[in-house]
Amino acid sequence: MASAQTLTLANHGGVALTIQNIAVTGDFAIVTNGSTCGASVAAGVECTIRVEFAPKAAGVRAGSITVADSGAGSPHTVALSGMGIDFSLAPDGPVTQTVAAGGGATYALLLRGAAGLPGTADMACAGAPAYATCTVTPSGPAIAGATLVTVTIATASADLRIPERPGERQHEVWLAVLLPAGLMLIRRARPGAMLALLLVSSAIGLGGCSAPRLIPGTTNGSSAGGGATPKGTYSVTVSGSSAGLTRSVGLTLVVQ
């Protein structure tokens, strides 16, 4: 249903205009709220008639509004027209996909509308599981004709590995060389030398502590706060909206 449009009825005569009837035809209706034309219109005064378009089919829709009154040339008729918008959104393949965490699922939908319809559909996806992304392509398909719409849901898997810190192996080599040598000299070493050896060993061991590590359970390269997509069965809704109409398709994603 389109927004109501306003028609103005003006009485330019020198006497009051009596209104016997106001009628509409076609896919149109008079909206009481905002209409000010009553039984009569005083001389030099205007009133308004609000008409809304409620198409019952797609395509060009014609109608009229007729005012029967006491003025010359009555009844007065104004032609009305509007473009009815309608379209469908339906699966063009399986609606259930099963993936392992970290995998992706692709669904095919078909959007159809009558030839010549203006405008596009605003596509949206809701219900994707945690740490997953849902992409609809194209995001604004034309509603005229037939358009293939692809829905891609990408899940995430956890990376539990802790990457090696820069220089970590070198530190291990130095410790492997210094500690045995230091132990051989312990009997002859002075307390000060032993303390220096311990300090050197500690410094080498702590040299890489500031290097970043992945926190177990997060995914390298995923969005902030990312993690593994939980196992389960998810209901995802893909919808297209245009001219106040919304068409939806339900999809199922199983994450194992």
What's domain 5-84's superfamily in CATH?
Answer: Immunoglobulins (2.60.40.10)
Whole-angstrom CA distances from 40 to 13, 16, 22, 46, 194 are 13, 7, 12, 10, 112
Tokens of 19: 């209104």
Q: What local confidence, expressed as pLDDT, does residue 187 receive?
A: 53
Cβ contact 24:40 at 8 Å: no
Asked whether the beta carbons of 238 and 198 are under 8 A apart, the reply is: no
Return per-residue pLDDT of the chain as tens, 256 residues: 667 899 999 999 999 999 999 999 999 999 999 899 999 999 999 999 999 998 888 788 899 999 999 999 999 999 999 888 889 999 999 999 999 999 999 999 999 998 888 899 999 999 999 999 999 999 999 999 999 999 999 999 976 444 455 555 555 444 445 445 554 544 555 555 444 444 444 444 444 444 433 333 333 333 334 689 999 999 999 999 998 789 999 999 999 9
| Size (the chain), residues | 256
- Tell me the CATH number of domain 87-158+235-255, given options 3.60.130.10, 2.60.40.2310, 3.30.360.10, 3.20.20.140: 2.60.40.2310
Structure tokens at 113: 């509308």
3-state SS, one letter per residue, for the chain: CCCCEEEEEECCCCCCEEEEEEEEECCEEEECCCCCCCCEECCCCEEEEEEEECCCCCEEEEEEEEEEECCCCCCEEEEEEEEECCEEEEECCCCEEEECCCCEEEEEEEEEECCCCCCECEEEEECCCCCCEEEEECCCCECCEEEEEEEEEECCCCCCCCCCCCCHHHHHHHHHHHHHHHHHHCCCCCHHHHHHHHHHHHHHHHCCCCCCCCCCCCCCCCCCCCCCCCCEEEEEEEEEEECCEEEEEEEEEEEC
Dihedral, CA of residue 133, residue 136, residue 140 and residue 141, to nearest 10: 180
Which pLDDT score, from 0 to 100, does residue 57 have? 81
The whole-number pLDDT of residue 175 equals 46
- Alpha-carbon torsion angle 209, 214, 220, 221, nearest 10: -60
The pLDDT score that the predictor gives to residue 169 is: 52
Neighbours of 240 (CB within 10 A): 27
- Within the chain, which residue ranges are assigned CATH 2.60.40.10? 5-84
What pLDDT is stored for residue 222 in this prediction? 34
Domain with CATH 2.60.40.2310 in the chain: 87-158+235-255
What local confidence, expressed as pLDDT, does residue 200 receive?
45
